[in-house]
């Protein structure tokens, strides 16, 4: 696959992933401040979270295809974990949006239901491991960019990745969420830097094409003068 085509897919996917992560973060804060009534706050948190899962997988897969061959092992592992995360997130958020939230609104169930998204519930456990795996994805993917000239992508992916003990641990020790909440900064930052990487890759391709065209014109001119 041509790198330009990869960049055309990867850049908007990374931008969307950043937007969805920021949107979720905004509504999570509003929910924490009790500014959105229950269960409406669930809908506004789950919808961008579901869309984030798809955009994130596409971003990581595109990153895999643009790194150097010797670094693909890192992004291959990252892609595998990204797919696992997307599977967990899709199950949790689609069930919540399609089944649980509508029934909560109709007062057919309450927060004690098996599928309800409540403290240390079945669904929260799946969601927790999902975001833990997402952190593993960014952690491994980061090392593909460790030796790059622009290291912001490496740093932001690594920053997101090292939050895994706090993201997963918060299920057992809620106080760890104070550190795990840094995900709201780390993930959008990583996706913004990924989008910038795709943009710079496109610029590099354009510069290379311009240089090749100039070299070709020079060769044609020399050949014409020689004749």
Walk along the chain (227 residues) in steps of 10 and give the mean pLDDT of each run.
84 97 96 94 96 98 94 97 98 97 94 91 95 97 88 94 95 93 96 94 54 49 54
The token pair at 55 is 């955009």
Q: Is there a domain that residue 221 lies in?
A: no
- Which DSSP letter does residue 98 get? I
For residue 207, what pLDDT is reported? 44
Instruction: Please name the residue that has the structure tokens 């990374």.
Output: 14
Beta strands in the chain (DSSP E): none
Q: Is there a domain that residue 205 lies in?
A: no
User: What's the Cα-to-Cα distance from 61 to each of 5, 58, 126, 130, 143, rounded to whole Å?
Assistant: 13, 5, 23, 18, 15
Buried b (16+ CB within 10 A) or exposed e, 63-77: bbbbbeeebbebbbb
For residue 131, what pLDDT is reported? 96
Q: Is there a domain that residue 219 lies in?
A: no
Q: What's the structural domain count of the chain?
A: 1
For residue 2, what pLDDT is reported? 73
Find, among 96, 135, 136, the residue nearest to 113 by Cα: 96
Q: Is there a domain that residue 222 lies in?
A: no
The token pair at 148 is 């790059």
- Which DSSP letter does residue 116 get? S
Q: Is there a domain that residue 30 lies in?
A: yes
Residue 120 burial (C-beta neighbours within 10 Å; 0-12, 13-18, 19+): exposed
Find, among 150, 167, 154, the residue nearest to 204 by Cα: 150
For residue 149, what pLDDT is reported? 75
For residue 225, what pLDDT is reported? 56
Q: Is there a domain that residue 176 lies in?
A: yes
Q: Is there a domain that residue 204 lies in?
A: no
Q: Give me the domain span that covers residue 127.
A: 3-199
Q: Is there a domain that residue 210 lies in?
A: no
Phi, psi of 215 (to 5 degrees): -65, -40
């Amino acid at each position: 696959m041509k790198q330009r085509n990869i960049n055309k897919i990867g850049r908007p996917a990374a931008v969307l992933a950043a937007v969805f992560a920021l949107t979720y973060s905004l509504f999570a804060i509003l929910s924490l401040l009790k500014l959105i009534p229950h269960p409406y706050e669930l809908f506004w948190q789950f919808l961008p979270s579901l869309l984030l899962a798809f955009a994130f997988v596409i971003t990581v897969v595109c990153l895999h295809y643009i790194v150097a061959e010797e670094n693909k092992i890192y992004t291959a592992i990252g892609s595998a974990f990204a797919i696992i995360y997307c599977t967990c997130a899709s199950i949790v958020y689609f069930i919540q949006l399609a089944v649980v939230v509508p029934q909560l609104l109709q007062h057919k169930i309450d927060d004690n239901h098996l599928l309800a998204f409540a403290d240390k519930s079945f669904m929260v456990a799946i969601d927790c491991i999902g975001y833990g795996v997402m952190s593993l994805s960014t952690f491994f993917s980061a090392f593909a960019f460790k030796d790059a000239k622009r290291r912001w992508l490496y740093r932001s992916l690594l920053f997101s990745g090292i939050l895994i003990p706090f993201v997963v641990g918060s299920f057992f020790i809620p106080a760890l969420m104070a550190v795990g909440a840094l995900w709201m900064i780390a993930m959008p930052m990583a996706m913004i830097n990924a989008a910038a990487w795709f943009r710079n890759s496109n610029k590099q391709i354009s510069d290379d094409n311009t240089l090749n065209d100039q070299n070709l014109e020079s060769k044609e001119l020399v050949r014409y003068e020689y004749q």
